[in-house]
Amino acid sequence: MSLLVLSLFGALTPTAPVRAAPVRSATEPLPLERLFDNTAVSDDARPGEADFDGTGASLSAADLAAAGWTPGRTLTVQRARLAWPRREPGDPDNVRAAGQSVRVTGRGDALAFLAAGTDGVDVTGTGSVSYANGTTSSYRLTAPDWRTGPLATKAVALPHVNTPGGQLAAQARLYVVTVPLVPGEQVASVRLPDSPGLHVFAVSVRGDTPGWSGSWAAATAGYPAVGPWRDRTLRLVVHTSVGGPRVRLRFDNTFAAAPVRIGSATVAVQAAGAAAREAPVAVAFGGAAGVEVAAGAQVFSDPLDFEVPADSSLLVSFHLPGTVTAAPVHRLARQRSYVSAAGDHTADVSATVYTTVLTGWPLLTGVDVGGGPGSVVLLGDSITDGEGATADADRRWPDVLADRLLAQDEVPHYGVLNQGISANRVVSDRYPGDGVATDTGGVSALHRFDRDVLAQTSARTAVVFQGVNDVRWGATADEVIGGLRELADRGHARGLRMLAATILPCEGEARCTAAVDAERAEVNAWIRDAGLFDGVLDFDGVVRDPDHPARMLPAYDSGDHLHPGDAGLAALAESVDLSLL
């Protein structure tokens, strides 16, 4: 039986789907919209026409429109394409899950639900998937509550709740939740759980990504104030792992409350700084030059015939015609990027107009290339992110690992996706997941695992290398172990090979006390001995001082006693047994 459970952290803990005997339903599956029996959205002037939760409360149509969630619009969240119901305010727009049979088709790695609960707590239920070959699999779905669920995992948050007595300044949340499917099988229909407090607005099969490998990625770390940028072109420098004959770009408006407009975008191979080797080539979005990215959603560019060299730097340029005062950002790029003077300069070859330097990556979260065997995803904190590495030199340990993979022929040339976030933790959020904030430490690994690992292009293996920030800030070894155990289970349920790396010693850094080191050692002992992961990368053993195991060897220390420098990061990457990947 396929199970998917939402933990106390709001993260999904699935087990893999298992084939069952053919089952015939007496109920003919219907499209979801023909089953709508609840009205969640109201006009602000007529709130009494909707009653989402049984108390007369509802979502504001104006708030949804302001977020870019307009009727009939297809939104992509966590790589799943889901259509917001094409309904007018006051019309039925969602299904209260009560065992209905829904017509859903396609092949993919997951079934995605746009959903929310209305019972004041998480709502859980078990449903089933029927396949074209007559078999079924079961799933367990949990939807957080629309008013009390975690902001860190929401797809979108709205600023108001409509009630018959007037509009409340209280947040409403909607969630995208995915459950695993039997790989390779054609889905024929889905039976919803029998949990009327669970409301489903849309459901779809998240397709596989054959023919693509992730070459570069960055995790959204927060939503800080920027610029402000108006009529500016951003030219971001990103370093590829694998190459290929085609390219597509991914932009994410994670954590945002409003849409952002990309007027045009190009890709080029870097010559130096903001200068391109040749004329940048335009990418399109659904055949158009630009695209609006709704709040909380993402967009992929159309596939472009463009030869992406392996182990090289690209310039991804995009014009922001409107005013952008805050944006989803990966703060610690360890790479200079650029902002232009006024105007659309995406096609410029020269660097002349790119007069402002950026040290983070806003909005852009992925570069995929055509072909290849898929990708390895590295889920980490500042050590993976590159703190301690020489800037503009691509000496993070993921970069060195990518070079090693390219230089050998014993295992496939996987793409390497660096999903490290400086200051990130396993079990607690640094950034709360909503609103403009200066903290860019990201939501927890548990809260971002679906987005930053499971939804990555052609992910095959994940490496979890986190925990030092948890124990440095008071988490117990048992808490960290519980989080790592959940990550392993969730990855395995989706067919990923899951590896874990031991936590590095850090004596000498202000928070790395003897008590912290004892917690760290307990976590490391569990990683080495529990056998829960498919392999262990003993990074602690690589960099520790054999005469003083609580601290890093001076030759590997960047100087702050917490982060390895270039030599230490290279040692981590060189120690990886590539056959484990």
Q: Does one domain contain both 500 and 526?
A: yes
Query: Model pTM?
Result: 0.94
Q: Does one domain contain both 190 and 232?
A: no
Q: Does one domain contain both 542 and 444?
A: yes
- In angstroms, how far is CA 366 from the centroid of its own chain? 10
| In-domain check, residue 214 | no
| In-domain check, residue 364 | no
Q: Does one domain contain both 410 and 461?
A: yes
Q: Structural domain tally of the chain?
A: 3
Q: Does one domain contain both 172 and 149?
A: yes
pLDDT digits (tens, 9 = 90+) for 412-467: 999 999 999 999 999 999 999 999 999 999 999 999 999 999 999 999 999 999 99
Is the pLDDT at 167 greater than 60? The verdict is: yes
CA dist 268 and 266 (Å) reads 7
Among 13-17, 206-210, 320-324, which range has the highest average pLDDT?
Answer: 320-324
Q: In b/e form, how buried is each residue of 500-526, taking b as 16+ CB within 10 angstroms?
A: bbbbbbbbebeebeeebbebbbbbbeb
* Cα torsion 276, 311, 395, 223: sign: positive
Please return the burial class of 546, using the count of CB atoms within 10 Å of its CB with bins 0-12, 13-18 and 19+. exposed
Helix, coil or strand: residue 543 = helix
Q: Does one domain contain both 523 and 390?
A: yes
% helix, strand, coil for the chain, step of 5: 15, 40, 45
| In-domain check, residue 160 | yes
Confidence of residue 8 (pLDDT cuts 50, 70, 90): very low
* Radius of gyration for the chain, computed over Cα atoms and rounded to the nearest angstrom: 24
Q: Does one domain contain both 79 and 154?
A: yes
pLDDT digits (tens, 9 = 90+) for 262-306: 999 999 999 999 999 999 999 999 999 999 999 999 999 999 999
Q: Which helix (H) or strand (E) holds 526?
A: helix 514-529
Q: CA 187 → CA 102, 414, 457, distances in Å? A: 11, 29, 21
Give yes or no for a contact between 156 and 224, defined as CB atoms under 8 angstroms apart: no
pLDDT at residue 98, as a whole number: 98
Give the domain extent around 397: 373-581
Give yes or no for a contact between 320 and 234, defined as CB atoms under 8 angstroms apart: yes
pLDDT digits (tens, 9 = 90+) for 541-565: 999 999 999 999 999 999 999 999 9
| In-domain check, residue 216 | no
* Cα torsion 15, 19, 25, 30: sign: positive
Residue 237 — φ and ψ, nearest 5°? -100, 120
Mean pLDDT of 503-520: 98
Q: Does one domain contain both 157 and 297?
A: no
Mean pLDDT of 331-347: 98
Q: CA 471 → CA 202, 361, 442, 503, 510, distances in Å? A: 40, 28, 17, 10, 13
CATH number at residue 507: 3.40.50.1110
* Cα torsion 17, 23, 208, 302: sign: negative
pLDDT at residue 263, as a whole number: 98
Is the pLDDT at 336 greater than 90? The verdict is: yes
Q: What residues have CB less than 8 Å from 194, skipping those under 6 apart?
A: 97, 98, 99, 125
CA dist 452 and 435 (Å) reads 20
Q: In this structure, what token pair is assigned to residue 568?
A: 């230490």
Give yes or no for a contact between 326 and 246, defined as CB atoms under 8 angstroms apart: no
CA dist 481 and 427 (Å) reads 10
CA dist 252 and 72 (Å) reads 20
Q: Does one domain contain both 354 and 402?
A: no
CA dist 193 and 128 (Å) reads 8
Q: Does one domain contain both 353 and 398?
A: no
pLDDT at residue 27, as a whole number: 76
Q: Does one domain contain both 259 and 176?
A: no
Side-chain-facing half-sphere of 559: CA atoms under 13 Å: 5
pLDDT at residue 115, as a whole number: 98
